[in-house]
Amino acid sequence: MSGVQKIDLGLKDAYDELFMDDAGRAENRKPKVAEILLENLAEFPNHPFKVNDDAEMEQVKDSISKNGVLTPAIARERSDGKFEIISGHRRLAACRSLGLAAMPVIVRNMTDDEAVITMVDTNLQREHILPSEKAFAYKMKLEAMSRQGKRSDLTSGQVGQKWSRDEVADKESGRQVQRYIRLTNLIPELLDKVDEGKMAMSPAVEISYLSTEEQRTLLTAMEQADCTPSHAQAIELKKLSQEGALFVEDMIEMLMEPKANQREMLRLPMEQIRKYVPDSDPKRVQDFIMKACEHYRKYLNRQKEQKR
């Protein structure tokens, strides 16, 4: 391996292992950590998890600058001599940002499919994961599992189909995994709306059955109506699409109809609210604003009483 310190048992170590007890052999065969130059590390192809320069990244950089990289990354050697990161993309980005020359890495021999499954499983442990990240990650993992011959029916939607949660994800049911994978059929602009919380998961899944052209037409209609489809409307859009009877006029007319749960809403920019409410939880922000309004109403009543 180039750019990494090779670790070879050699003849002496082989003899030593021959006379070791079971505990000693297990310890001797543990993965070895090596310092690898950052210039020799490469990102995983089509990595579905975003590496953003956000508050979480600042925490990672702060930790590395104070304590170094406490958890080694996992990588595999490529045919060109570089090392493909399987787990540790944020640590790699942080080390590059800090100007470090190398970072600790565990190098393992993995097939392409083993690397995909490990990459997905390790990254799904993140605290904050976008719907689009889960969607493409689950799709990559299930395709890899299918190629390995473990399951060939994981993406089917047959009634009564049993899914193995252990084979798919720790915290998601098979049906939910299937729903996430459907999101990969959305055009990027609509998928962004799901990530941004502007469109709910349920209508997004139904819209994913529309053709690319129909989705782009729907996006235009959504911008004109300044709203997104409800779940019931999305089901109707899917039905019309399957019947070959979905037209832009129908989309606009449908979106302009008042929704069953539609109420008059007041929208305030979050950057203005954060000047007064540091909390980012929507429910607590709403409670704070309502209490502030109540206090202000009492203040106005007192002012009126003093003027009498």
At 238-257, the pLDDT tens digits run 999 999 888 888 888 888 87
Gap between the Cα atoms of 237 and 219, Å rounded? 13
Please indicate, yes or no, if residue 140 is contained in any of the structural domains. Answer: yes
Q: Is the pLDDT of residue 166 over 50?
A: no
Domain shared by 91 and 1, yes or no = yes
Domain shared by 82 and 121, yes or no = no
Please indicate, yes or no, if residue 37 is contained in any of the structural domains. Answer: yes
pTM: 0.66
Please indicate, yes or no, if residue 101 is contained in any of the structural domains. Answer: yes
Q: How confident is the model at residue 162 (pLDDT cuts 50, 70, 90)?
A: very low
pLDDT reported for residue 260: 53
Structural domain harbouring 198: 193-256
**CATH code, domain carrying 77:** 3.90.1530.10
Please indicate, yes or no, if residue 11 is contained in any of the structural domains. Answer: yes
pLDDT reported for residue 39: 94
Q: Is the pLDDT of residue 19 over 70?
A: no
Closest CA to 254 of 288, 272, 273, 228: 228
Per-residue pLDDT of 103-137, as tens digits, reads: 999 999 999 999 999 999 888 887 788 999 999 99
Domain shared by 168 and 207, yes or no = no
pLDDT reported for residue 267: 64
Please indicate, yes or no, if residue 264 is contained in any of the structural domains. Answer: no
Q: Is the pLDDT of residue 191 over 60?
A: yes
Please indicate, yes or no, if residue 213 is contained in any of the structural domains. Answer: yes
Please indicate, yes or no, if residue 263 is contained in any of the structural domains. Answer: no
Q: Is the pLDDT of residue 292 over 70?
A: yes
Q: How confident is the model at residue 279 (pLDDT cuts 50, 70, 90)?
A: low
Please indicate, yes or no, if residue 262 is contained in any of the structural domains. Answer: no
Query: Best-predicted range by mean pLDDT among 78-82, 128-132, 186-190?
Result: 186-190
Task: Give the chain's mean pLDDT.
Answer: 79
Domains contained in the chain, number: 4
Rg (CA), the chain: 27
Last residue of a domain, one of 165, 185, 205: 185
Q: Is the pLDDT of residue 99 over 50?
A: yes
Last residue of a domain, one of 109, 128, 158: 109
Domain shared by 89 and 15, yes or no = yes
Last residue of a domain, one of 88, 109, 130: 109
